[in-house]
Amino acid sequence: MLYDKARIYVEGGAGGNGSVSFRREAHVPRGGPDGGDGGHGGSVILICDSSRRDLGALRSKHFRAERGHHGEGARKQGARGEDLIIRVPPGTQTTSVGGAVIDLTEDGQRSVLARGGRGGHGNKRFSTSVRQSPRFAENGTSGESGWVELRLKLLADAGLVGLPNAGKSSLLGRLTRADPKVADYPFTTLEPVLGTIESDDRQVVLADIPGLIEGAAEGAGLGHEFLAHIERCAMLVHVVELAPSSGDPMENYRAVRAELTARGAGLDELPELVALSKSDLWTEADTADQVAEWRETLGDSVLDVLAVSSATGAGLEALTEAIVRAVPETVEAPEPSAGPLDVDFEAEHLTYRPKGEGGYSVEREEESVFRIHGKGVEVLFDRFDLSNEEALGYLETRLTEMGVMAELRRAGFESGNEIRVGEYEFELY
């Protein structure tokens, strides 16, 4: 069974905490602070691996990267957490926890699925001429986390579409070296099958998509599960049975076209070759009349109409040549969405400053209760131990520099009122 979908929970490692430490050596009477920084947390990274075939190994699993190590005395910096690698087959698409669209098509491509948290600064970072012995440090931040859905879309140049039992699998077996299951009943194909057409100077990958029935785009039958696999194809080969066991060939053709249109994603706009299958059941004259009639009816809406027989091999050479001509020799690969994988350690100082106006806001929730909104302010509070008086003093200084204190006063704040930031609640004097 082909597993082309997976839903997994990913979590970047948390950053390590900074250290509060002071030099204590006999020959250094006033050694001062020497707390080291915490290490950054590892990230969860997707890597495209051509040896993988589907997403079966990723079903219903949790993936957590290693957290960063805490800083230590003597300005020892904590080790960075190890990245967690998830290997997926070419054609995998998803969206990272941060919202970036990921499309991995080439072996070795990689992209960050969930970034690790940043390590906290040790107390050495907060030493100044007026704060020579800081007794506080930063906490590491949490890594990105959340559920993500991965979808595999086969990397085929051309896709075989049509009703069940139209002869797609037999045709794939004759055109390529693939060995699909073939039998004399509908719904034989339960999952997409790939094969390669070998020409003198190039190869074309052909995909046999499970048969579509009316209502497939809304979930009827099996084919709807695999419609996404033909979204990457450069063209379609629409296989229509000349002598169907039920229905009219043209009506069958239009039913499949309706499902492609209902699916969207531009499937109905792909170049299309029509292959009238099982032509061995007709005389050559009748087959020629059928081809002429189909060409007149469909006109320029299709590349061509050809009659073929998987049983006798009639028309297969012409179909192969038509497919090779229709598939472009070079297809532009999507831009890799991988962001920078390694997070460099921070410079000497880290400043939390909201971007532009509106980086934070103050709201009066009750008579003497005010809430501060803003991601930058919330991260600032997460960074420090609010039970540490020195850390609280530093926070107040930072809030003043950012303009938050002035905004509070404009909103009617008075000393002793309650302040709420994220999940924190405290009285500010």
Q: What span, in angstroms and rounded, lies between the C-alpha atoms of 47 and 95?
A: 14
Q: What tokens appear for 300 in the block?
A: 């320029």
Letter for the amino acid at 344? Answer: D
Q: Which helix (H) or strand (E) holds 251?
A: helix 249-263
Closest CA to 157 of 91, 217, 89: 91
Closest CA to 47 of 116, 113, 95, 108: 108
Q: What span, in angstroms and rounded, lies between the C-alpha atoms of 378 and 400?
A: 15
Delimit the domains of the chain by residue range.
Answer: 1-152, 158-326, 361-427
- 308 close to 168: Cβ distance less than 8 angstroms: no
pLDDT in tens, 311-358: 898 999 999 999 988 888 755 544 444 444 443 434 444 444 444 444
Q: For the CA atoms of the chain, what is the radius of gyration?
A: 32
Q: What tokens appear for 367 in the block?
A: 């008579």
- 19 close to 61: Cβ distance less than 8 angstroms: no
Backbone CA torsion sign across 90, 95, 97, 99: positive
Closest CA to 232 of 336, 339, 93: 93
A 10 A CB-CB count for 217 gives 18
3-state SS assignment for residue 196: strand
Q: Which CATH code fits 361-427? A: 3.30.300.350
- The per-residue pLDDT string of the chain (429 residues; one tens digit each, 9 = 90 and over) reads 456 788 999 999 999 999 999 887 777 767 789 999 999 999 999 999 888 877 878 876 899 999 999 999 888 999 999 999 999 888 888 999 988 899 888 889 999 999 999 999 999 988 888 888 899 899 999 999 999 999 887 777 888 888 887 788 888 888 886 554 444 444 444 456 777 787 777 778 888 877 565 544 444 444 455 566 677 788 899 999 888 877 788 998 998 888 888 877 778 888 999 999 988 888 889 999 999 999 999 999 999 999 999 889 899 999 999 998 888 875 554 444 444 444 343 444 444 444 444 478 888 888 888 888 888 888 888 888 888 888 888 888 888 888 888 888 888 888 888 888 888 888 888
Closest CA to 243 of 209, 203, 196, 276: 276
pLDDT in tens, 192-242: 677 778 777 777 888 887 756 554 444 444 445 556 667 778 889 999 988
Counting Cα atoms < 13 Å in the Cβ hemisphere of 341 gives 13
Q: The tokens 């950053």 sit on which residue?
A: 15
Give Cα 166 to chain centroid, integer Å: 35
Q: Which helix (H) or strand (E) holds 372?
A: strand 369-373
Q: What tokens appear for 6 in the block?
A: 């997976």
Q: What span, in angstroms and rounded, lies between the C-alpha atoms of 289 and 269?
A: 27
Q: What span, in angstroms and rounded, lies between the C-alpha atoms of 229 and 400?
A: 55
Q: Does domain 158-326 have CATH number 3.40.50.300?
A: yes
A 10 A CB-CB count for 31 gives 12
Closest CA to 231 of 142, 157, 124: 157
Domain 1-152 has what CATH class?
mainly beta
Q: What span, in angstroms and rounded, lies between the C-alpha atoms of 192 and 260?
A: 17
